Structure 1
Amino acid sequence: MFRQVITPRRCRPSAAVTLQWRAASSQSRPRPSLNFLTWTNLVKLLTKPCAVALPRLVARQINVYAMKKFRRIEQILIRHYNNFYSERAIQNLASSFQRSNWCRDRRRPFYILFGGACFAWHDDRLSENDFKQCQDDLEGIDFFANTIDTVPDVFNTWETVINRDHLKAWRKQLGNTHLYEYKLFCRFFDISAKDFFQVQWDLDYRRKWDKLAVKLNLVCRESPNSDIIHWVLRYPYPMYNRDYVYHRRYFIDKDKNLIIIFNKSTEHANVPENTNIVRVSNYYSHMIIRPHFSMEENGFDFIMTYHDDPRTNFPPSCINWMSTTGVPDYVEKLHQATLQLSNTSNIVHLSSSDNQQQNHNPGQYST
């Protein structure tokens, strides 16, 4: 009974106040007339923001699309530029030039001239550091001029492989690799330094006495004492043959009575890699020849340092055999070839430009 009497009395005034406030508020707020919401005003109201935003969106979309197109065009141009001026493109150009009918009937020196134009002599020529690497050998050959019973201090870090009266060989591991660098000293009394040099430099004669040379060609020439050589070396079956593309250079120091020959691996557009031959891209050697008296008289010493990477792992027994047996056999081949050359009159004379190098600095090139 208490809830039925009290609750309605408290709720009714509140509901009445709320209804009166809503009526008062609705009566005091003016309502928009229907004449204001015409179709013209409605279209203007809806299209005014779009008229400003829509052109901006279209312009932004066009910029993004154009940017992608220009970026794609730039990538295509860069790719074609790199393909056109790449090493492979130059090799294909040189090969096509060699196979063309226009070059087939021409003489070889013209083709060599074209190859010389494709080779960057200033970028790949022997540097001053290459000449400084033979300083130890210069000290060694000076030391052996007085005695050959002991070893100079500069060779203490080398392992002795051959120790004979007039033939000595050492080796040293090349960095952190499995390869070895070899050093060879030899002394002859019955052949001259000039003839021995010609055996090293004359390609036509080397093709005759070196049976392991499958191919030995002149690629291009910078000067009478600097050129690029392609040499294919025969390897025992079933291994692939190895080929070398190397830059060789020599100079003569009349004051010190020396002949120095440098060989260093390089690349050339006219000699691309062959799938049937393994390219040796890491090859270096230098040889110092010192006559006992003069270049034409018999008797001289020579010392040579060399290393190469045949790109295969030979067993230790094979490496030891090549060091102890292969090196003496190769030296004997050089000896016999020089003896045969000295008995003939077809000796290629040293270039006159080298004979003028009376005061040549060993740390510089001959010209």
Structure 2
Amino acid sequence: MSGQAVTIPDDRAFASFKAECLCEEGWSMTYNKRAVTVWSQDLEEGKSVHKMKCRMICKDVSAETMYDVLHDIEYRRKWDTNVIETFDIGKLTVNADVGYYSWSCPKPLRNRDVITLRSWLPIGKDYIIMNYSVKHAKYPPKQDMVRAVSIQTGYMVQSQGSNHCILTYLAQVDPRGSLPKWVVKRSSHLLAPRAMRKINKACLKYLEWKQKHNPGLKPWLYPEQTTLPSIPLSELSIQHAESLENIDESSLGAGGVGSDYL
């Protein structure tokens, strides 16, 4: 998303995101093993924006279950071992909200957090969830964390049959912190495939878990169930990376960094 005004993505924005998920032109394949493929785009000189795409073929998970798992914040707290804190701040429309997410990074890296405007849309038998960073006055950057910036990040889930889907994760992110290039490279080669497989495993256990935890509660499918307060767009503004403190982590050595988040 560009410009200063916060906007809720329209059909054209979802179509553009889907097209980029499907496009392979201009991308370099960096990993292809065990049903997971990763592509990346080179960092521009002097820029810290990282662009990555990861695709996983799931022959044991339906698109509907994958979509539920990606949405279900209570379940994420169970399977996402990197999460420090995650919560919804408020709703904008029936298919858009604002939320907070923080995750642990192995020392000596600082932990990260992000506030995003998230929107979602079923398209036929496929689903898209995407987000970008916003600012909210009640949730300023924390001193003990680095606030990352999502320029545009999200998932596309494509149904391939009753128990078969393809998950594509597309991320255009500025992690801030002047990360060394080896960290960015490792995230593409190692951490992204690990995180995707972790999502797949979470999907296999979701139906049993959900039966014991508010089985009928799915506000992403039934917006009338939401209890979130409404937020006016006027309370939000675009989070630009340039306005955030940039912690220098560029001298870090390559030992010990092994976080696996998406």
How far the C-alpha of 1:332 sits from its partner, in A, is: 1.5
* Residue of structure 2 in register with 1:171 after alignment: 40
Q: Secondary structure at the match of 1:333?
A: helix
Provide the identity percentage. Answer: 21
1:237 to 100, 107, 110: 107
How far the C-alpha of 1:227 sits from its partner, in A, is: 0.8
How far the C-alpha of 1:183 sits from its partner, in A, is: 1.0
Matched-pair contact (CA < 8 Å) for 1:224–1:351: no
Partner Cα distance (1:194, 1:182) in 2: 24
Give structure 1 regions of 4+ aligned residues with deviation exceeding 6 angstroms: none
Aligned residue pairs total: 214
1:134 to 13, 17, 31: 17
Supply the RMSD in Å over aligned alpha carbons: 2.3
* Residue of structure 1 in register with 2:117 after alignment: 247
- In structure 1, stretches of 5+ residues that fail to align are 1-121, 141-153, 355-367
* Residue of structure 1 in register with 2:67 after alignment: 197
How far the C-alpha of 1:287 sits from its partner, in A, is: 1.6
* Residue of structure 2 in register with 1:123 after alignment: 6
2:96 to 226, 229, 250: 226
Partner Cα distance (1:259, 1:128) in 2: 13
Are the structure 2 counterparts of residues 353 and 314 from structure 1 closer, same or farther at C-alpha, using a change threshold of 3 Å?
Answer: closer
- 1:345-364 matches, within 5 Å, as 345=211, 346=213, 347=215, 348-349=217-218, 350-352=220-222
Higher relative contact order (CA 8 A, sep 6+): 2
Are the structure 2 counterparts of residues 279 and 304 from structure 1 closer, same or farther at C-alpha, using a change threshold of 3 Å?
Answer: same
**AA partner of residue 122 (structure 2):** I
The answer to whether 1:259 aligns with 2:124 is no
Q: Secondary structure at the match of 1:317?
A: helix
Partner Cα distance (1:330, 1:308) in 2: 16
Are the structure 2 counterparts of residues 282 and 188 from structure 1 closer, same or farther at C-alpha, using a change threshold of 3 Å?
Answer: closer
* Residue of structure 2 in register with 1:334 after alignment: 199
How far the C-alpha of 1:339 sits from its partner, in A, is: 0.8
Matched-pair contact (CA < 8 Å) for 2:54–2:193: no
The answer to whether 1:279 aligns with 2:162 is no
Larger Rg: 1
Structure 1 length-normalised TM:
0.54
The answer to whether 1:301 aligns with 2:170 is no
What are the superposed Cα offsets for residues 14-59 of structure 1, whole Å, 9 maximum, x if unpaired? xxxxxxxxxxxxxxxxxxxxxxxxxxxxxxxxxxxxxxxxxxxxxx
Matched-pair contact (CA < 8 Å) for 2:49–2:175: no
Q: Secondary structure at the match of 1:267?
A: strand
What are the superposed Cα offsets for residues 47-103 of structure 1, whole Å, 9 maximum, x if unpaired? xxxxxxxxxxxxxxxxxxxxxxxxxxxxxxxxxxxxxxxxxxxxxxxxxxxxxxxxx
Partner Cα distance (2:8, 2:84) in 1: 26
Structure 2 length-normalised TM:
0.73
